[in-house]
Structure 1
Amino acid sequence: MVIEYVGQIIRQVIADMREQRYEEEGIGSSYLFRVDQDTIIDATKCGNLARFINHSCNPNCYAKIITVGSQKKIVIYSRQPINIHEEITYDYKFPIEDTKIPCLCGADSCRGSLN
């Protein structure tokens, strides 16, 4: 285990409203991570360092949803030993959409987009 992705647990309806509000406020980046169909963790204003982990098409970590008690949590685990000063990355696995988000990870196996 590397770190838990923490923030406010919200429903999809609230996430949609917040995403629009963040855009209107010029926040630029929002940190919304889907747990399941109904639940999203919003780390935009009250998250931890996990929200700053970048995407890579060849990541050294992966995100896993676990259940503790009755609460679902997102935990980042390493795939391999990670060296000092090595960037921590995982594959965001964004859903496929018509508008592609360019990937700039630089991996030899880069897909070219995050979705």
Structure 2
Amino acid sequence: MVIEYVGQIIRQVIADMREQRYEEEGIGSSYLFRVDQDTIIDATKCGNLARFINHSCNPNCYAKIISVESQKKIVIYSRQPISVNKEITYDYKFPIEETKIPCLCGADSCRGSLN
């Protein structure tokens, strides 16, 4: 285990409203992580360092949803030993959409987009 992704637990309706508000306020990035169909963790304003972990098409970590006392949590686990000063990354696994988000991970196996 590397770190838990923490933030406010919200429903999809609230996540949609917040995403729009963040755009209107000029907040460059929002940190919304889907747990399941109904639940999102919003780390935009009250998260931890996990929100700054970048995407990679060839990551050294992965995200896993676990249950602790019937509460779902997102935990980042290492795939391999990670050296000091090595960037921690995981695959965001965004859903496939028509409008593509360019990937800039630089991996040899880069897919070219986050979705």
TM-score (norm 1): 1.00
Residue by residue over 1:19-73, the C-alpha shift from the partner in whole angstroms, topping out at 9 and shown as x without a partner, is 0000000001000000000000000000000000000000000000000001000
SS in structure 2 of the partner of residue 51 of structure 1: helix
Stretches of 4+ aligned residues off by more than 6 angstroms: none
Report the Cα offset of residue 97 of structure 1. Answer: 0.3
For 1:46 and 1:104, how far apart are their aligned partners in 2? Answer: 26
For 2:20 and 2:89, how far apart are their aligned partners in 1? Answer: 27
Q: CA RMSD in A?
A: 0.2
For 1:43 and 1:93, how far apart are their aligned partners in 2? Answer: 18
Aligned length: 115
SS in structure 1 of the partner of residue 14 of structure 2: helix
For 1:35 and 1:97, how far apart are their aligned partners in 2? Answer: 19
SS in structure 1 of the partner of residue 15 of structure 2: helix
Report the Cα offset of residue 10 of structure 1. Answer: 0.1
For 2:65 and 2:15, how far apart are their aligned partners in 1? Answer: 19
For 1:91 and 1:10, how far apart are their aligned partners in 2? Answer: 23
Alignment of 1:47-62 (within 5 A): 47-62=47-62
Alignment of 1:83-94 (within 5 A): 83-94=83-94
SS in structure 2 of the partner of residue 40 of structure 1: strand
User: Unaligned stretches of 5+ in structure 2?
Assistant: none
Indicate the residue corresponding to 1:14 in structure 2: 14
For 2:53 and 2:41, how far apart are their aligned partners in 1? Answer: 15
